Structure 1
Amino acid sequence: MTTANSFEKGLRILDLFREDRLEWTAEEMMEELGYPRPTLYRYIRTLRDAGLLTALSGAGFTLGPRVVEFDYLMRKSDQLVTRSQPHLEALTAAWPCTALAVRWYGQRILCVASECSTPNPLSSYPRGRPMPLARGAISRSIIAFLPRAQMQQMIEQNLAEFGQVGLGKTAAEIAERFREVRRAGHAVAYGEVTPGVVGIAAPVFDGARAPVASLCVTIAGSTLTGERIEEIAAHVRRAAEEVTKALSPARAIPPGGQVPGDCGADGAGTMAAQGPAEAAT
């Protein structure tokens, strides 16, 4: 067994924990993962000693306090969080809304920072809770700026759900809707994630001009007119552009996990050379 394989198997244990399954026993882990008992217990012991797992009184396990420590360090060190914070505060000062900075990684989009200027947050997805990949303005604002082949793959993988929110019945129709988002520079969605709430989002790019995040305002639809939506969208676009400028000196690893400029089998690295306009047209 290689070190890399051992590391990946350890991560698979951590990946078991999710919102609808917060606790696991060792027996349940073995059944789910297929690890031999001695191997599983070795991984559990290592993760527990590192503070990543905590043993429960009922012989089960849940995530440990080290996760909270990592979260604290990330809030201090993640440039998306630190650079977005002033813009989130400005957006919530201008309108009664929730403003979010959302990072895309792997096949997930996740709120990493937010501010709210209403009595109740206008979002069903607080910091740390994964959001729907095929619904809402945030997802759309990122997918629309992917390289063409990658965008097409995302459309095909989520064709039914895109159709359910009215983006189109065919892959070609949905792709045209994404091109419209690209031309506008922002996405608007009406009640797709939280009923009665309008989402207005614009992409944030890394140093390789890959879309890695989104800034979004969620606001009660009853308070909006078409003119107000355009006003908010312009503010969100400017904020996203400022965050992009702040992040551009760093050559971040894009969502596919490949170092910018390296061309793998799927051609994901071509975006660094082409830039977003050429890659998705």
Structure 2
Amino acid sequence: MERGLRILSAFSGDRAVLGIADLARAVGLNKSTTYRYVATLTKLEYIRQDPETKKYFLGPRVVDLGFAAIDSMELTKVAGPLLQALADETGYTVSMGLCDGPDVVYVDRRRSGRRSSLTMDLNLHVGSRLPAYCTSMGKVLLAYKDPATLRQILDRTDMARRGPKTITNREQLLAALAKVRQSSVAVNDEELAPGLRSFAAPVRDRSGEVVAAVNIAVHLTVAPATVDALAGRLEPALRRTAAEISRRLGHRPQP
């Protein structure tokens, strides 16, 4: 991964088109090793090759990554204070994630400064990834995908058992996602790990598209209540926070 990023970084405004020899010198690798990385990056459309000169230039996926990075920075800038307020209000750890294929990528994570005894640490941080199918944020993000995209994602998903209540059957997962669309909240009840529960709600942009999810994570050791009891306590604040982030992103619900 590091070498691939070094190759991408070799392209710049005055060096937008490079050959294998140029790239090899720029990243300090021999030509054969450089070519293997370039071939992979070309296949993934991060770079492209001019059929006549045989030289390379950045491809459309890099542009997509750039826009995604800008969107992510804007999203976390808007959401950060609201996520911290939700963590302080509830006393639990609050996170925000984006969808990247079959994974959820954490882009923000906040712990309460008021009731730290209730926070939990699963060794997650900004940039961490978890499988979408067995997480509350993942189920929110999957639930609002169009059917064709969802099918492609699930085709790439190994629905292995990770917790005592993991949904490992595709039809059961689809039924659970339908419930998420109806209620606008996803629940993870020990599907990722024993004792872990979380509740997630969608964040929408000005077009109404679901672009992120916000969750509150709790553990049975600090909150031994039933799922319904926890939902009654946590969902109103969770929904309010997700709605306010969406509003600040320009979303206006239809009357």
TM (norm. structure 1) is: 0.58
Alignment match, 2:167: 167
Q: Residue deviations 1:12-34, cap 9 Å, x none?
A: 71299xxxxxxxxxxxxxxxxxx
CA contact (8 A) 1:98 1:114 kept: yes
Compute the displacement of 1:180 (Å): 0.8
Q: 1:14 to 1:108 in 2, by over 3 A?
A: farther
Of the three residues 230, 237, 247, the one matched with 1:245 is: 247
Q: In 2, distance between residues paired with 1:145 and 1:92? A: 25
Alignment match, 2:83: 88
Q: Residue deviations 1:152-207, cap 9 Å, x none?
A: 332333263389854353x3332111101111111111233344221111111223
CA contact (8 A) 1:146 1:210 kept: no
Q: 1:105 to 1:172 in 2, by over 3 A?
A: closer
Alignment match, 1:157: 156
Q: In 2, distance between residues paired with 1:15 and 1:242? A: 39
Q: In 1, distance between residues paired with 2:23 and 2:186? A: 45
Query: Partner letter of residue 240 of structure 1?
Result: A
Alignment match, 2:25: 42
Alignment match, 1:207: 206
CA contact (8 A) 2:186 2:201 kept: yes
CA contact (8 A) 1:96 1:219 kept: no
Among all aligned residue pairs of Structure 1 and Structure 2, give the percentage whose two residues are the same amino acid: 20
Q: In 1, distance between residues paired with 2:162 and 2:107? A: 28
Query: How many residues get paired?
Result: 194
Corresponding position: 1:13 with 2:4:
yes
CA RMSD, Structure 1 to Structure 2 (Å): 3.5
Please list every run of 5 or more consecutive structure 2 residues that lacks an aligned counterpart in the other structure: 8-18, 29-68
Deviation above 4 Å: which 4+ runs of structure 1?
A: 162-165
Alignment match, 2:54: none
CA contact (8 A) 1:122 1:218 kept: no
Please list every run of 5 or more consecutive structure 1 residues that lacks an aligned counterpart in the other structure: 1-9, 17-35, 46-73, 250-274, 276-281
Q: In 2, distance between residues paired with 1:163 and 1:39? A: 46
Q: In 1, distance between residues paired with 2:161 and 2:154? A: 8
Q: In 1, distance between residues paired with 2:6 and 2:234? A: 37
